[in-house]
């Protein structure tokens, strides 16, 4: 009877050691993987607001002046232009989406404006068009798009 108790005791010790090894491995894997998961995703400030101050649309040219009405600097803007019935509009500034202030510094500070000319698909005066502005900022050398700050402006071409 004494031998049977020793055998039962060794099985309990064996299972306890297996459980300790499994928990130790899971803690090590968690600590290792925690370094690969980003701490916090960069986000835009809520008070970032770009507006269309002035525009002139003629043929396939769009002269546009943007004004930063927000409280924070805007580093870039994605401009999409198209028929108002289109759900997905064409981006018209693929090569020059970065913004520059009045003294050619990167970024558009609050209350500063920036003017540019863009080539658009041929437009006529009978069609209603829309211009969509999606501002972006640069955080840690990465462009962060401000999805909550998108505005849509109706555009009339002549």
Tens digits of residue pLDDT in 5-43:
666 678 888 899 999 999 999 999 999 988 888 777 778
d(CA 61, CA 4): 93
Residues 82 and 143 in one domain: yes
Residues 101 and 59 in one domain: yes
Q: What is the DSSP letter of 72?
A: S
d(CA 3, CA 14): 17
- pLDDT given for residue 4 in this prediction: 57
Residue 1, pLDDT above cutoff 50: no
Residue 42 within a domain: no
**Residue-range definition of the domain harbouring residue 29:** 1-37
Q: Structure tokens of 62? A: 């769009």
The sign of the dihedral angle between the CA atoms of 64, 153, 93, 67 is: positive
Q: What's the total number of domains in the chain?
A: 2
- pLDDT given for residue 6 in this prediction: 63
pTM higher than 0.85: no
Residues 29 and 80 in one domain: no
């Amino acid at each position: 009877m004494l031998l049977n108790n020793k055998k039962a005791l060794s099985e309990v010790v064996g299972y306890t050691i297996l459980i300790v090894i499994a928990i130790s491995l899971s803690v090590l894997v968690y600590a290792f993987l925690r370094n690969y998961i980003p701490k916090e995703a960069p986000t835009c400030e809520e008070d970032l607001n770009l507006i269309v101050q002035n525009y002139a649309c003629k043929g396939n040219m769009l002269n546009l002046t943007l004004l930063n009405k927000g409280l924070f600097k805007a580093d870039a803007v994605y401009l999409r232009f198209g028929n108002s019935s289109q759900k997905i509009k064409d981006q018209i500034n693929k090569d020059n989406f970065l913004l520059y202030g009045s003294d050619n510094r990167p970024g558009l500070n609050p209350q500063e404006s920036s003017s540019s000319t863009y080539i658009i698909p041929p437009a006529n005066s009978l069609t209603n068009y829309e211009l969509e502005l999606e501002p972006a900022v640069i955080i840690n050398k990465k462009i962060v798009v401000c999805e909550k700050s998108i505005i849509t402006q109706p555009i009339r071409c002549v």
